[in-house]
Amino acid sequence: MNAAFAFLLQATPDVRSVSWWLPHGSLRDAVWVTVLLLNLAVLLWILYKLLFAGEKWSIPQELRKRGEGIQTRMRDAEQAQQSAQARLAEIEARVANLPQELAALEREGQAEATREHERMVGESQREAERIIRLGRQEIEAAAKLAQKELHSLAAKLAIELAHQRIQDRLTPEQDEAVVRAGVGQLSQSGLGRPN
């Protein structure tokens, strides 16, 4: 312990001019060491209060906060790494299945195209059948109308031909006899009488 005091005394400046009031000898050295130790204790206490026991700021609080922040960032980084690995595995699985998916999409597209082609062919056939049916109906209607007109024309021509033949063969006396016979029949049947 004396060696420590000796070291401290050697490390301290010469304060004889300041410590003139202290007694000389070993008591003076002991007082000086005591004052020095008291100063050191006060300085350590102030540093302790400032650095370790402060309410707003202290080294342990800051170290704890920093450690918690580092742990939080490490957990976040680990979660991000896990989600990235899961996403990577999902992408790798999709890439590995890409040929099968493309083949499935191609088959589905071909099937859809086939269904659409069949639907369009069916619609076209139905439309063609409808047009043919309408054409047949129009042709039948035109044929009936033509037959009707032909019958009407034939009847008209037959009447005209009969009228001409009758006029050619009928003499005025025969004409008068036919008219009298027709009037006579009308009078007998009662159609020629006035009401």
Q: Write the pLDDT tens digit of every residue in 28-43.
A: 778 778 888 999 999 9
Predicted confidence band of residue 7 (pLDDT cuts 50, 70, 90) = low
Q: What is the mean pLDDT of the chain?
A: 82
Predicted confidence band of residue 74 (pLDDT cuts 50, 70, 90) = very high
| pLDDT mean over 9-26 | 58
| pLDDT mean over 155-184 | 83
What's this model's pTM, rounded to 2 decimal places? 0.35
Alpha-carbon distance values, 145 to 133, 148, 158, 175 (Å) = 18, 5, 19, 37
Q: What pLDDT was estimated at residue 191? A: 58
Instruction: Identify the weakest region by mean pLDDT among 14-18, 46-50, 57-61, 140-144.
Output: 14-18
Domain ranges (residues) in the chain: 98-179
Does position 137 have pLDDT exceeding 70, yes or no? yes
